[in-house]
Every structure is written in structure tokens, then in C-alpha cells.
Amino acid sequence: PEHYRYYYILVVLPLLAGCLEGLGAVATSRWFGLVLAYISYMVITSLWSEQFSWAEFARVAWYGALVAVFVLVTAVLRNRDPLRFDKLLRALVVLAAATGLVSIVAWYSRNPFPVARLQPISRMDHEILAACAYGFFALLALHFFRMEHSRLLRAVFFLALLTLIATVLLTQSRTALVALIVASTVLAGVKGRIAIASLAAIVAVALAVQPELWQGLTRRMPYRFGIWSAALDQALQHWLLGSGYLSDSTVQVQELSFVHAHNAYLATFRDGGVVGLGLLLAVFGSAAVSAFRLDRRNGEVYYLALILYGMVCAIPDLDRILTRPREIWLFLWLPIALVMVDIQRPGRASSAQR
């Protein structure tokens, strides 16, 4: 689509030019080296795919480069001015909530509420991926609500949180809802047990009042285990190096055919074998350990919640995670970039946590 071309020209190139001064320090860090090792290996696996073509190889290499650039530029911008970056995150939370509200009003003004599965407006038009993105912003809203001292801003973030949770619920996405429950429980911890109990009550009441939501959330759930079993059988056929990033991702379960494995870990195992899966787990594991250390240093549980959210989202639905600009960049790659930078700075890592 045309908007990707504008993104490359108007966003990527200017950001790279503006970040040249700080690229060196971030690019040479071992955390970015680990991310780059995973990306590079998965791109290389395309070479032994049965469906190999140079055009498709170039496409995968381009996607890998885009993800690497996004992580790199995000890390540089965060490192350069963490206070401004936090203000940007706060503004994005409010913007995401406003977009979610407009989506709800626009969609249900012409579709039955709440039976029709919400299709958000803007480029986030895939229900599950959009729900994961909105869930990520809901997690941020919960964090800012807990840390903010101003009553007005606390009210703003609380309303944003409710709107974002409603958006996730109405997309009827189990992936985002489960990830949000896990991550928000970790984020709130003991100090936020009242907030978590309140949010759980809100979700429970919504599901009780509108049982159609529960039916939508549980649709086709039994198929997941069959998909994963079939995907694992595929992966085991080329268990060491994988069948390649350009291999057919289709999963056949009896007479049903599914477009992909619905699990990023199994998909990585299928494409990259134990080597690729090991690299992915090393990226996530390193990020989780660094996040835990950051949170211990800051006396909060913020970074670990963000990392866990992305890791959980990768279980029930995702497949390949090297993409052009998509929602996955927000809830998977962005937290990794934040942890990669903040772990290297002494003291409290984020102004949002003061």
C-alpha cells in the first residue's frame, strides 16, 4: 500500500538521519546484537526454503531491516530524552483511547451491539492484532494511572483505561485479553489489588450482561490445540535448522486448513528450527531478566509487565514476527527497545516512575 512508501520516506529516513549521533552506542550493545542475531538468522533461513525466490528473499530481508531500524531508532530516541519519550507515550495512550472510542461508536452505529465483532478504524484493521495493540496501551494507561499524582491526569488515564479495555473486549480477542490480564496483574501487584479487582469486576459484569461477548471470545477455541499439534509435527520434520522463512505456513487439521500456526514460538521453530527458537527465547529471556532487574532497581513492576504482555500475545495467535510496520511493533518490539536502553542507565530509568 501507498502509505508504507510514505512511512519509509517521511519517517524512517529522517529519523535515521537525526539519530546518527547516538546510533553507535546502541548498535554495539549486546542486547541489540542479540536482536540482530535473531533477525539475521531468520532471514538467512529463507535460502533453504522450498518456495525460495530472490524477490521473496529480498522482501524478508527488507522486513528484517525495518524491524532492526525500528528497535535501533526507538532505543536512540529513548536514550536521548527519556522525559520527552514518556510524554509521548502518555499522549499516545490518550490518542489510542480516543481512537478506540470513535471505533466503537462508528462500528456499532451500523452493526448489532455487541454481537458484531468490532473492527477498529485506521490501519489497525485486523481484529486480533488491533486488540493486542489496544491492550498494550491499556497496560500503559494502568501504569500511568497508578504513578500519576495529579487527580485530573489520574482521571484521564482511568477513563482511557476503561475505554481501551472496552475496545479489547469488543474485538472479542482472547489473545489480547489473556495477555492483558496476566501483564496487568503483574504490573499492579499487591499495591494495586483494589484496582485489579475493580477491573476484573467490570469485565465480569460486562460478560454477564452481554453473554454474546463470551460466546465470541470462546468461538473456535478448541481448534487451537489441534493447530499447535499439527504445527509441531511440521516443525519436527526440520527440527535443527528449520524449513526456512519462506516455507508454507499453512496448517492442516483434519479437513480444516489454517493459514498459520497461531503461535509465534512454534512458527519460529518451524522456520528456524531449534537454532531460531533458541535465539528468539534468548531475546525474550534476556529482555525479561533485564526488565526484572530494572524493576527491582526502581521498586516497581513496569518493564517486566510490558515484556510479559508481548510474550503472552505471541502464544495464541501470532506467526512470523518480522513484518513491515504493523501492530506487532508496538507490543513486541517496542518494550524490548525500552528495556535495552534503560537497563544501561543508572538510577531510576523512567520519569513515569517518579
- The pLDDT value given to residue 169: 87
Q: Report d(CA 63, CA 324) in Å as an integer.
A: 5
Q: What is the mean pLDDT of residues 304-332?
A: 92
Q: Report d(CA 86, CA 350) in Å as an integer.
A: 7
- The pLDDT value given to residue 122: 74
Alpha-carbon distance values, 326 to 145, 257, 279, 288, 331 (Å):
27, 25, 22, 23, 10
pTM over 0.85: yes
- The pLDDT value given to residue 121: 83
- The pLDDT value given to residue 257: 86
- Ranges of H-type helices in 210-263: 211-217, 223-236
What is the pLDDT confidence band of residue 237, given thresholds at 50, 70 and 90?
very high
pLDDT, tens digit (0-9, with 9 covering 90-100), for 62-121: 999 999 999 998 998 898 899 999 999 999 999 999 999 999 999 999 999 888 889 888
- The pLDDT value given to residue 351: 45
pLDDT, tens digit (0-9, with 9 covering 90-100), for 32-58: 899 999 999 999 999 999 989 999 999
Taking 80 as the threshold, does the pLDDT of residue 244 lie above it? Answer: yes
Q: What end-to-end distance do the CA atoms of the chain give, in Å?
A: 42
Q: How many percent of the chain have pLDDT more than 70?
A: 86
